[in-house]
Amino acid sequence: MELPKTADVVIIGGGVMGASAAYHLAQRGMKNISLLEKEQFFGQGATGRCAGGVRYQFSTPINVRLSQASLPMLERFKEEIGQDINYRQCGYILIATTEKDVQAFKHNVELQNSLGVGTKWLSAEEVRARLPLMCFDDAHAGTFHEKDGLVDPNSVVMGYISAAQRMGVNALTGIEVTGLAVESGKIQAVITPLGSIQTRIVINAAGPWSGQIAEMAGVSLPVVPIRRQMFTTSPLPELPVDFPFVIDFAQSLYFHREGEGLLIGMSNPNERPGYDQRVDEAFELVNLEAASARLPMLEKAGLASHWAGLYEVTPDAHPIYGITPVDGFYVVTGFSGHGFMHGPVSGKLLAELILDGSFRTVDVSALDLARFGEGRLIQEYNVV
């Protein structure tokens, strides 16, 4: 494989962020774009391992606005990009089992409603009535938004990559970036075992590995990889077709339909940062027990598959967009467990910053790298 000698922009990482950035830059007319992915296929990192959930239910205005811009892009995806992504609007139910969560959810629903998102408040009885197969005797309340749902992650990545390739983007797999050349505070080249690409602009879209890439440029990025895992069950014929995405918020335990069965995940609060992507079988048992207590029919179900992936986590659970202290070195990372759904708009925002000099679709200038040094953190409550 011939590596280009020069590029107007090199994007590192072929997950949803890199793919969306490549598509949006090319669509805006930028030429000579290279996208480098270290794996043999695109979308094998966090994106391909994610739960595919897309939602409007967030606790900060900026995250709600990112969803308001990004989810309609997913709704129009087939029309615009030419790829079916299987968007199912099954709705998300977030269930509060503590008084603290009730108070936080009240605030969140008010915020979402004020921004035009029609999230509904559910009483404890309404939660139980909507989920007759589940045990939520301890529910205090819940929230439901019917336009939240599920999308197929690999179709989104491949849709963007194929459309970008049709516009001339060099999207290459099996190429690991091993270094970045920086001179006088400016990015000069991307180094790989197959040679270097001279370039003035690099986008770090390496997700959980973005901290490693930043280090190559001498930039410190507060993004840590945290393992998260899930499993799918054998078919559960009793499950209604319109079973929603259910989140038992206090336990970070979630369920959604996957084919004829369910996909079930739970976040381990004691997980230490690291790159291990093997399933932690001891924690899988904890997850299975918690899930069976909520959905007793699981005792009859078999395990169909299981896997783990890495969240790319920042100290305030918000992403990092834009410039860094190295001229020409941009980042789009740190989505802390909910980046797949914000991938479409995030690639578009990077294209706007690079080509227009500012973010236009959503003002994410507050989500810059400098906020960590300046103490401008914005906490997100709805992290699962």
Ligand X SMILES: Cc1cc2nc3c(=O)[nH]c(=O)nc-3n(C[C@H](O)[C@H](O)[C@H](O)COP(=O)(O)OP(=O)(O)OC[C@H]3O[C@@H](n4cnc5c(N)ncnc54)[C@H](O)[C@@H]3O)c2cc1C
64 is an interface residue for ligand X by CB under 6 A: no
Contact 246, 134 (CB under 8 A): yes
Spatial contact of 209 and 16, defined as CB atoms under 8 Å apart: no
* Cα–Cα distance, 269 to 216 (Å, whole number): 30
Q: Where are the alpha helices (DSSP H) in the chain?
A: 16-27, 46-49, 61-75, 77-81, 99-114, 124-130, 153-166, 210-216, 281-294, 343-356, 370-374
C-alpha 46, offset from chain centre: 8
Residue with Cβ nearer ligand X (124 or 291): 291
Residue 159 sits in the site that holds ligand X (CB under 6 A): no
Of the residues 3, 8, 32, 39, which one makes contact with ligand X according to CB under 6 A: 39
Indicate the length of the chain as a whole number: 384
Candidates 58, 209, 255, 321: give the one binding ligand X (CB under 6 A): 209
Instruction: Establish if 225 lies at the interface with ligand X (CB under 6 A).
Output: no
Residues 299-328 that bind ligand X (CB under 6 A): 309-312
- Amino acid present at 140: H
Q: Is 124 in the site for ligand X (CB under 6 A)?
A: no
Task: Please calculate the CA angle 347-352-353 and round it to the nearest 5 degrees.
Answer: 100
Of 16, 21, 189, 349, which one interacts with ligand X (CB under 6 A)?
16
- 177 touches ligand X by CB under 6 A: yes
Smallest CA-to-CA distance from 314 within 368, 257, 244, 277 is with 368
According to CB under 6 A, which one of 26, 201, 206, 349 is a site residue for ligand X?
206
Q: Are 332 and 21 in contact (CB under 8 A)?
A: yes
Residue 207 vs 322, nearer CB to ligand X: 207
**Tokens representing 95?**
């269930």
| Cβ 79 to ligand X shortest distance, Å | 21
Does position 339 interact with ligand X (CB under 6 A)? The reply is yes
Contact status: 47 vs ligand X (CB under 6 A):
yes
Contact (CB, 8 A) for 101 and 143: no
Does residue number 337 form part of the binding site for ligand X (CB under 6 A)? yes
50 contacts ligand X (rule: CB under 6 A): yes
Among 22, 37, 164, 331, binds ligand X (CB under 6 A): 37
Q: Could you say which of 301, 340, 352, 364 contacts ligand X (CB under 6 A)?
A: 340
Q: Are 330 and 25 in contact (CB under 8 A)?
A: no
Cα(313)–Cα(224) distance, integer angstroms:
5
- Name the minimum Å distance from CB 36 to ligand X: 5
Longest dimension (CA), the chain: 64
| Window of 38-46, 58-66, 109-117, 164-172 that interacts with ligand X by CB under 6 A | 38-46
Instruction: State which residue, 168 or 174, has the beta carbon closest to ligand X.
Output: 174
> To 5 degrees, how large is the angle CA 283–CA 340–CA 98?
50
The answer to whether the CB of 24 falls within 8 A of the CB of 351 is yes
Interaction of residue 244 with ligand X, rule CB under 6 A: no
Residue with Cβ nearer ligand X (77 or 209)? 209
Asked whether position 52 contacts ligand X by CB under 6 A, the answer is yes
Sole window of 163-171, 330-338, 347-355, 356-364 interacting with ligand X (rule: CB under 6 A): 330-338
* CB 124, min distance to ligand X, A: 25
- List Cβ neighbours of 234 (8 Å cut-off, separation of 6 or more): 260, 261, 301, 302, 303, 304
User: CB 108 → ligand X: shortest distance, Å?
Assistant: 17
Contact residues for ligand X, defined by CB under 6 A: 12-18, 36-39, 44-47, 49-53, 176-177, 205-209, 213, 228, 230, 309-312, 333, 335, 337-341
